[in-house]
């Protein structure tokens, strides 16, 4: 009886390893903005300002700064170019920090809008939250060191708000009020960062 | 019984050879039509935003599309690799089965399992690639798993264990 059952058992158990097929792994790539940011940043760090200026002028950063000029502090693009020409590394870093903070803030605001958009299906709202957070972090993560060097309280506040938002995003009902509140807080922190950094720039041209 | 190797049935050899041809043609087509394939997949994905959870914001959507396109490409590559490999596996294992399995029925079932399983399994990767733009990465994978990888991969694994047992039995009887 036992011997007869063995082939049957084998038939049931044998296909299970077929589930463990290899389907490859995905490593997120840099987009054109983060790539250009790294190119400019590393050129500046190496003291190659002429290279950094050329990369900035021909790259996605400048194009995006121009496209989003209406939502950015005035003169951000021209100021970045001037800082590169002057070989002023801290100023380049500060202006790029403002730019990526603005990108992350806009994403947080858009995420907040979509999470309460009744026209979207609940599933769409549920999946949108984590995806927006991922995009926000991709940009913010680039500038967190620069933020912490200038204003460590803002850096800590941002990290706490992001952790809180991630917690809500992983919850069973991610499109709830908690996530919306956390995203609003992220937007407020980044707006404050942009305002204070831009004010500082105006005081110290 | 003689020690000479026996050829597997010609039908099994044909399936193995056709599978290897498909692998080579698939590999070449992947390179030749890479741009067209990517454009097609991207177009279908953009036409089904709800499936992929696209939110209409470039900074978010590009990452989602990129992952799906990487997996779409991976599916094609894995089909190429598995079809090449499984073609050779069919040739080798059916030759062993044809040589060592004595009973006609046992030999026949074993060869059918090895041939059908080996030929069907790589097609799961092709199916997964095709399903990704329409159903997303995970749902496409589930469909390929239940309809192709599980039954065909399972058939191959069952037949290979059976074959292994047969070889052990032969060793023991010597």
The tally of CA atoms less than 13 A away on the side-chain side of residue A5 is: 2
Please give the average per-residue pLDDT across B12-18, as a whole number.
Answer: 97
| Domain ranges (residues) in chain A | 30-203
**Rounded-to-integer distance, Cα A186 and Cα A70, Å:** 21
Say yes or no for a CB contact (<8 Å) between A138 and B149.
no
pLDDT at position A16 is 64
Residue A204 confidence (pLDDT) above 50: no
**Rounded-to-integer distance, Cα A162 and Cα A169, Å:** 10
Chain B contacts of A28, Cβ < 8 Å? Answer: 63, 66-67
Please give the average per-residue pLDDT across A142-166, as a whole number.
Answer: 94
Mark which residues 11-30 of A lie under 8 Å from B by CB.
11, 14-19, 21-24, 26, 28-29
Please give the average per-residue pLDDT across A84-94, as a whole number.
Answer: 95
B157 to chain A, any CB pair closer than 8 A? The answer is yes
B164 to chain A, any CB pair closer than 8 A? The answer is no
pLDDT in tens, A25-67: 888 888 999 999 999 999 999 999 999 999 999 999 999 999 9
In a domain, B5, yes or no: no
In a domain, B1, yes or no: no
CB atoms within 10 A of CB B11: 12
**Rounded-to-integer distance, Cα B135 and Cα A146, Å:** 41
pLDDT at position B102 is 87
Chain A contacts of B156, Cβ < 8 Å? Answer: 18
Residue A139 confidence (pLDDT) above 70: yes
The share of chain B scoring above pLDDT 70, in percent, equals 99
Q: Which of B93, B102, B84, B73 is nearest to B23 (CA)?
A: B84
Say yes or no for a CB contact (<8 Å) between A29 and B55.
no
Alpha-carbon distances of B33 from A74, B27, B38, rounded to whole Å:
46, 10, 8
CA triplet A198, A201, A205: central angle to 5 degrees?
150
CB atoms within 10 A of CB A6: 9
Q: How many domains does chain B have?
A: 1
pLDDT at position A171 is 77
Chain B contacts of A11, Cβ < 8 Å? Answer: 158
pLDDT at position B174 is 78
Residue B77, classed as helix, strand or coil, is helix
**Rounded-to-integer distance, Cα A59 and Cα A73, Å:** 20
Q: Which residues contact B91 (CB under 8 A, 6 or more apart)?
A: B8, B12, B13, B16
Q: What's the gap between Cα A127 and its chain centre?
A: 17
Which residue range forms the structural domain that includes residue B80?
10-173
pLDDT in tens, A115-128: 888 888 888 888 88
Say yes or no for a CB contact (<8 Å) between A28 and B63.
yes
**Rounded-to-integer distance, Cα B17 and Cα A105, Å:** 57
**Among A5-14, A52-61, A172-181, where is mean pLDDT lowest?**
A5-14
pLDDT at position A25 is 81
pLDDT at position A172 is 60
Q: Which residues contact A114 (CB under 8 A, 6 or more apart)?
A: A120, A125, A128, A132, B55
How many CB pairs below 8 Å do chains A and B form together?
A: 88
pLDDT in tens, B126-136: 999 999 999 99
In a domain, B99, yes or no: yes
Nearest to B157 among A14, A28, A128 (CB): A14
């Amino acid at each position: 009886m036992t011997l007869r059952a063995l082939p049957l058992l084998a038939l049931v158990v044998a296909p299970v390893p077929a589930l463990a097929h290899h389907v490859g792994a995905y490593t997120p790539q840099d987009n054109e903005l983060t790539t250009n940011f790294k190119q400019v940043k590393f050129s500046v760090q190496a003291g190659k300002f002429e290279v950094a200026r050329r990369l900035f002028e021909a790259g996605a950063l400048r194009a995006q700064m121009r496209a989003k000029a209406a939502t950015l502090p005035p003169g951000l693009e021209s100021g970045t170019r001037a800082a590169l020409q002057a070989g002023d590394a801290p100023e380049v870093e500060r202006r790029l920090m403002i730019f990526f903070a603005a990108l992350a803030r806009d994403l947080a605001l858009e995420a907040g809008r979509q999470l309460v958009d009744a026209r979207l299906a609940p599933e769409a709202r549920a999946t949108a939250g984590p995806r927006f957070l991922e995009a926000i972090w991709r940009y913010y993560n680039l500038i967190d060191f620069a933020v912490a060097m200038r204003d460590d309280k803002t850096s800590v506040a941002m990290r706490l708000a992001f952790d809180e938002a991630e917690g809500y995003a992983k919850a069973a009902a991610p499109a709830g009020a908690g996530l919306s509140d956390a995203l609003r807080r992220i937007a407020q922190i980044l707006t404050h960062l942009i305002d204070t950094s831009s004010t500082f720039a105006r005081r110290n041209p | 019984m003689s020690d000479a190797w026996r050829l597997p049935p010609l039908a099994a050899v044909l399936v193995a050879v056709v599978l290897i041809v498909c692998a080579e043609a698939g590999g070449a087509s992947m390179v030749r039509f890479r741009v067209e394939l990517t454009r097609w997949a991207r177009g279908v994905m953009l036409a089904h935003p709800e499936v992929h959870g696209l939110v209409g914001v470039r900074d978010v959507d590009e990452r989602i599309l990129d992952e799906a396109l990487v997996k779409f490409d991976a599916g094609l590559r894995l089909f190429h690799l598995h079809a090449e490999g499984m073609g050779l596996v069919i040739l080798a294992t059916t030759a062993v089965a044809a040589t060592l399995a004595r009973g006609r029925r046992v030999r026949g079932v074993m060869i059918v399992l090895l041939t059908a399983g080996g030929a069907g399994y790589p097609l799961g990767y092709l199916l997964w690639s095709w399903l990704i733009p329409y159903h997303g990465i995970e749902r496409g994978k589930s469909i390929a798993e239940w309809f192709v990888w599980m039954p065909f991969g399972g058939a191959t694994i069952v037949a290979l264990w059976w074959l292994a047992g047969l070889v052990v039995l032969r060793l023991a009887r010597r």
